[in-house]
Each structure stands twice: as structure tokens, then as C-alpha cells.
């Protein structure tokens, strides 16, 4: 009646804003890959009620926490009662562009589905995930990489195979996704949606390993207010990364390295400045093969 599950983070290899919708959200096209950095959750089935613990974290434990809301929506949809005690061990930085909160919510949905004998299909879980946040359907899905369209909630499985080392550097401050999207139009001026890149062309894209196009429309917005993000990107490239990019709305920047020794050296150098906010990871697909 208990289980533990991993909640992997993600990086965005590509993110293009295609336009603004009538509901105020943005249509986008993004390529996401799950990585080995992640949180860990422990779920224990209860007869009723939802309780959440977040050791060594100042995250809220009630409605303000996405894992709580995920559990609440699961039980509401199931309609037969039930409860859960959740212990969330955070490792992924908060508001970092790595999808940590969305992945935690998805892990709760999938974990509860297992604890309660699979009442929902994969499609039904995706429907439960969608109102919780744009990235949650990606994490609910079994895939390790995907293209996402719509507001990021329409998932198209991607068969990309990366075999690189990923250095992630978080400068230690949160960035509001809402603020970044609101300032996207202000920063770009005119009609910003002409910036939305066609993946096939990869205009102005930074080339990663194997000439993999790396691009993020939101990068300039975040760097405009937080120039440290741009400096980190430049330093990763100087350290030998074949490509570097801000993930999501930031502020975390990742560098893709083909050489493990170079990646380790970069981690050690950044750790002197940013301490525990520097991580070495691999694409989840590589880990899954071992």
C-alpha cells in the first residue's frame, strides 16, 4: 500500500512561441527531454484525506502545492473516496525552467493510479494532468522525449537519442514563468510571433552535439533582466559544451557535453560559485538502457 517513484526533470532543446491565444495563454512548439536529475516521492495509501510533507523545503503542504492538487483531482475523478500521505524529497530547483513541480504532480497521478489498481487509462491520466499545468501531460506520458504543441500540453512522442552529458547551472534565484511570458511581447517589440522558428530551418539556432538545433524564444527575455544567465551560457560553451541553452523560462542553463571529463570539470568550476545548484545529468533514455 506504499510506493516510491522518481519525478525526472526536463530540459527544452527547442522552444518557439507561435502566437497568443484568446484565453491569454501562448501557443508554442517545444522539444523536451527527461533527464536523470529528479525529485523522489513516497506515497502511502490512506482511507481518507491528503497530507503532504516536504522535508528540508519551505514548499507549502496544502492547496498551494501542486502535488496536493494532483492528488485532490485524482480522488475527485475516482469518486469513491480514498486518501494518501505524500513525502516529497526535492532536489530539482524551484521555478527553474526544469519542470520540477509538474513532474512531481505527474508522479502523484501515476503513483496513485498504481496504488488504486489502475482505475484510469493513460489517456484519462493525461486529461487529469492537463488542468494542473502545461508540462504535466508530458511527465505523465511514458515517453522520454517529445514535441509538445498547443500550450505545451499536446504530446507527440519523439524518438531522439542523445548520448551526451548535461551540465545544469542554476544561478540560485527563481524566475516566474508568468512574468517571462508577459514580458515576451514587451521585450521583442512589434509582432514577436515572427520569431517562432520553424524547426526544420532552425534559424539562429545554437548547434548542439550532432548539429542538434538548440533554440529558445524566451531566452532573450530572461537574460534581459538577469544577464547572469547569458554569462553562464557563454561560460558553458567556453568549458567545451557543444551547445548551451536556457531551459524553459529559466533561469537554469544547460550545456551538452560529449566528453565526460570536460563536463565534470565544468561542474566543479561552477560549483565554486553556485554550490548545490549545479548538477551533472544524462538524458533519461541513456539511463533506461542500463
Contact 96, 173 (CB under 8 A): no
CA torsion sign for 224, 226, 230, 231 is positive
Torsion of CA 284, 43, 104, 255, to 10 degrees: -30
Report DSSP letters for 55-118, one per residue: TT----SSTTSHHHHHHHHHHHHH-S-EEEEEEEE--SPTTSSS-HHHHHHHHHHHHHHHHTT-
**How many Å apart are CA 127 and CA 149, to the nearest integer?**
15
Q: How many CA atoms lie within 13 A of 158 on its CB side?
A: 22
In sequence order, the 6+-apart residues with CB closer than 8 A to the CB of 16 are: 28, 29, 30, 195, 196, 197, 199, 215, 217
Phi, psi of 193 (to 5 degrees): -75, -10
CA torsion sign for 201, 207, 211, 217 is negative
Q: Take residue 267 and report the three cell numbers written for it.
A: 561542474
Please identify every residue annotated as catalytic. Answer: 10, 135
Amino acid at each position: 500500500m506504499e510506493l516510491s517513484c522518481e519525478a525526472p526533470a526536463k530540459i527544452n532543446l527547442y522552444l518557439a512561441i507561435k502566437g497568443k491565444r484568446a484565453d491569454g495563454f501562448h501557443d508554442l512548439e517545444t522539444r523536451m527531454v527527461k533527464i536523470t536529475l529528479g525529485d523522489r516521492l513516497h506515497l502511502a495509501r490512506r482511507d481518507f484525506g491528503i497530507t503532504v510533507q516536504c522535508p528540508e523545503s519551505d514548499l507549502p503542504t496544502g492547496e498551494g502545492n501542486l502535488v496536493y492538487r494532483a492528488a485532490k483531482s485524482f480522488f475527485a475523478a475516482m469518486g469513491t473516496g480514498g486518501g494518501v500521505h505524500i513525502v516529497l524529497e526535492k532536489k530539482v530547483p524551484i521555478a527553474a525552467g526544469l519542470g520540477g513541480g509538474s513532474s512531481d504532480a505527474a508522479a502523484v497521478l501515476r503513483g496513485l493510479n498504481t496504488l488504486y489498481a489502475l482505475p484510469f487509462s493513460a489517456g484519462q491520466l493525461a486529461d487529469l494532468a492537463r488542468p494542473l499545468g502545461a508540462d504535466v501531460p508530458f511527465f505523465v506520458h511514458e515517453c522520454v522525449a517529445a514535441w509538445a504543441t498547443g500550450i505545451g500540453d499536446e504530446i507527440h512522442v519523439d524518438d531522439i537519442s542523445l548520448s551526451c552529458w548535461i551540465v545544469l547551472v542554476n544561478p540560485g534565484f527563481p524566475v516566474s514563468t508568468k512574468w517571462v511570458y508577459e514580458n515576451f511581447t514587451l521585450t521583442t517589440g512589434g509582432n514577436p510571433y515572427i520569431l517562432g522558428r520553424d524547426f526544420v530551418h532552425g534559424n539562429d539556432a545554437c548547434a548542439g552535439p550532432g548539429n542538434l538545433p538548440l533554440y529558445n524564444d524566451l531566452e532573450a527575455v530572461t537574460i534581459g533582466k538577469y544577464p547572469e544567465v547569458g554569462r553562464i551560457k557563454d561560460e558553458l560553451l567556453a568549458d567545451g559544451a557543444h551547445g548551451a541553452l536556457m531551459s524553459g523560462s529559466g533561469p537554469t542553463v544547460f550545456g551538452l557535453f560529449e566528453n565526460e571529463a570536460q563536463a565534470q570539470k565544468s561542474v566543479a568550476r561552477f560549483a565554486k560559485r553556485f554550490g548545490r545548484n549545479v548538477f551533472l545529468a544524462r538524458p533519461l533514455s541513456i539511463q533506461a538502457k542500463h
